[in-house]
Structure 1
Amino acid sequence: MTDRPIGQDGDRPREPLAPVLAVIAAGGALGALARHGAQAALPAGPADFPWATFWVNVSGCLLIAVLMVVITEVRRAHRLVRPFLGVGVLGGYTTFSTYAVDVQRLATAGRAVTGLLYLAGTLVAALAAVAAGMWLTRRLTRRPTRRLAGVR
């Protein structure tokens, strides 16, 4: 047993938590404002397909995939980039809780089939957006390799 307090890592100093929380909060506010703008631009009634939430979640998944490839595979980022953009901005922008409420709203409005299509369609489109975002970012950021003369 050690005299170190629980949760302390003796191998490396702890990062201050306040800056991380501050950038997450600031990013979250920006992301939520962007989502609100999308919801205002594409309003949906109780029985309407929630296109704004669908496109927000799909585009957010695509952007999160791009961000993660860039900051983990392409270049080293400042330690606050991931909390600000990934957790804050894109976490505030995407809204899978609203997605769940939208499914319930559609079912309650007698649009159960639309609700099920929305439920499955969002899941498939969001996962496809992640895969596409990762693939495209890797492809666009791949550094060309030099080829030796006569070697293919």
Structure 2
Amino acid sequence: MTTTEGTRPVHLHWGFIGLVAAGGVLGALARYGLGLVIPAPGAWPLPTLVINLSGALALGALLEALSRGGPDAGSRRVLRLALGTGFLGAYTTYSTLALDAVHLFIAGAATAAAGYLAASLLGGAAATTVGIWLGAWHHRRARGRQP
């Protein structure tokens, strides 16, 4: 399941599709569960912000670690598809971010909406950068332990 047959694209392999789907189910459940336990103070969409920022951090770290491990094949491909595309793709949510911003704008909270969008976009870029840095740091540290 970790190799492709001939030149057929990865998205046409049922095993890989299943990995993404399984990861997606778990990611959506994790997002839903965290959305229930993280408070939304004054109807401000803190749960979506926390989920998206933590997902950006995790995706940056995951992809950096996988890319430093070698080519996108074998177990690295399985992890990328199951965790990156599947789990983190469903865990993070652009549609809810956009809907939350629209709700804030409609409620007359334009400043809160603009702050939320700025925190989401700039925070997401920063979280991804920190994740990449952490993935690189972990790789350097792991290589330093090898004889």
TM-score, normalised to structure 1, is 0.80
Give the superposition deviation at 1:43.
Answer: 4.6
Please state if 1:48 is matched with 2:43. Answer: yes
What's 1:24 paired with? 20
Deviation per CA, 1:1-51, whole angstroms, max 9, x where unpaired?
xxxxxxxxxxx4425610111111100000000000111112538x62111
- Asked whether 1:119 is paired with 2:114, we answer no
1:62 alignment partner in structure 2: 57
Listed as ranges, the gaps of 5+ residues in structure 2 are: 1-5
Structure 1 window deviating more from structure 2 (78-87 vs 60-69): it is: 78-87
Q: Determine if the alignment matches structure 1 residue 38 to structure 2 residue 61.
A: no
Report the counterpart of residue 91 of structure 1 in structure 2. 89
| 5+ long unaligned stretches in structure 1 | 1-11, 146-152
Output the CA distance in 2 between the equivalents of 1:26 and 1:67: 18
Compare 92-101 and 15-24 and name the one that shifted more.
15-24
Provide the rounded CA distance (Å) in 1 between the counterparts of 2:119 and 2:7: 45
TM-score normalised by L of structure 2: 0.83
* More moved, 104-113 vs 70-79: 70-79
Distance 2:70 2:33 in 1: 31
Query: Which structure's CA Rg is the greater one?
Result: 1
| Percent of pairs with identical residues | 38
Letter in 2 for 1:144: G
Aligned amino acid, residue 138 of structure 2: L
In the aligned structure 2, how far is the partner of 1:124 from the partner of 1:101? 18
Q: Distance in 2 between matches of 1:38 and 1:25?
A: 20
Equivalent position amino acid for 1:22 in 2: G
Q: Once the 2 structures are TM-superposed, how far is the Cα of residue 137 of structure 1 from its aligned partner?
A: 1.8
Equivalents in 2 of 1:137, 1:81: separation in Å? 14
SS in 2 for 1:144: helix
Query: Which residue does 1:81 correspond to in 2?
Result: 79
In the aligned structure 2, how far is the partner of 1:111 from the partner of 1:13?
52
Counterpart code for 1:91: G
Q: Give the letter aligned to residue 135 of structure 1.
A: W
Q: CA offsets, 1:56-82, max 9 Å, x none?
A: 000000000111011111356513221
How far did 1:105 drift? 0.5
Q: AA paired with 1:130?
A: T
